[in-house]
Structure 1
């Protein structure tokens, strides 16, 4: 995943907070927000990664005491 500096921090707070070199952890309640942002992300920021991110979010949603960990590189 790449950083999203061009996205509005108020409209896309979850995605805007991601950085290419930082780690991020999201709990089940935050996953709902992240999925909503993925549904309305501009096409210019899109790609295959959106489907992969949705799949990972759904795993967290279906489980108990699970977290989505994004590890920067």
Structure 2
């Protein structure tokens, strides 16, 4: 399971996602040239996106094939991404198992 948090520059957790995403063939098989942000997630490592990377990530979400993310997680990811964009010195963290 990959969980998501918004963290400040000092590492403080600002917001935690209620949902996570299960690593499976749909997510693992994303073409990195089409989905450069989500295509670089790793199941057992943390991945951190800055403000500019979150902008690209938010563009990817509506383009995903069905079944890659649940609707609940996709909505929450859009909200957390917008939190990063609306704030200052915030980062979106994907926390692998």
> Which structure exhibits the higher relative contact order, with contacts defined as CA atoms closer than 8 Å and separated by 6 or more residues?
2
> Relative to total residues, which structure has the larger strand share, 1 or 2?
2
Instruction: Could you tell me which runs of 5 or more consecutive residues in structure 2 were left unpaired when the two chains were aligned.
Output: 1-20
- Provide the rounded CA distance (Å) in 1 between the counterparts of 2:36 and 2:75: 19
Q: TM-score, normalised by structure 1?
A: 0.90
User: Secondary structure of 1:67's match?
Assistant: strand
Q: Do structure 1's residue 63 and structure 2's residue 75 form an aligned pair?
A: no
Match in the other structure for 2:65: 42
Aligned residues: CA RMSD = 1.2
TM-score, with length taken from structure 2: 0.70
Greater helix percent: which structure? 1
> Paired residues, what number?
73
The answer on 1:12 being equivalent to 2:69 is: no
In the alignment, structure 1 segments of 5+ residues that lack a partner are: none
Runs ≥4 residues deviating over 2 A: none
